[in-house]
Amino acid sequence: MIENENMQNDDNMKKKITDNGVLVISEIQKKVILPYTKGEVKEIYRKNKELYKDEQDVIEKEFTKDFYYYRHQFTSRFREAVELITKREGMSKLDGFNLGSELFLKSYLHPAIISACKNLDELNVYLDCLDKNELDDFKVFDIKYELYPAVISKNDIGIYEKETFFKRLSKFFRKMFKKCEYN
């Protein structure tokens, strides 16, 4: 009996929920973990106990997404911007479309960051910091990337070392025009 209680206490210690102020974008774990507070998790669980086994299940289903959910970055930025405006801000789909169109081509903006923002103000603060190249000033949540190292092949390096066709063509025309000037 005492052994069972100790095992249950160990399980409760493992499942203890704390605030998570970090957006984890992990290619290695193949998932994205959105920031959350203990209060948010408890509130979602309290309102929907029939949908979740426990609070850890809330985190897995509501605050964790598959890494490949964001694999098409352009469309993911658009989709997440529309969702932010329509669902979290309660604005019109037209407003969502406008923001989605604006963010569609912002290649330095990972769509998971839009997902992690609780409201438009947080996103605007991040975009302002991004435009000024001062991401250290963004204090709403931390962002942690876990990515595999990029592999550069010898062929990729050669692109920068070798003369390209256009450089050779340019040199050829310069020589031709120099010869023409002397005649």
Q: What is the pLDDT of residues 28-43, one digit of tens each?
A: 999 999 999 999 999 9
Convert the pLDDT of each residue in 145-179 to its tens digit: 998 887 766 665 555 555 667 677 777 767 766 66
- Residue 28: strand pairing partners: none
Tokens of 160: 């920068």
How much is the pLDDT for 148? Answer: 87
pLDDT of residue 170: 73
Q: How many CA atoms lie within 13 A of 123 on its CB side?
A: 25
pLDDT of residue 161: 53
pTM for the complete prediction?
Answer: 0.73
Three-class SS state of 49: coil
Q: Which residue has the tokens 């499942």?
A: 15
CB count in 10 Å sphere of residue 157? 10
Q: Which residues of the chain have pLDDT under 70?
A: 1-15, 152-164, 166, 173, 176-183
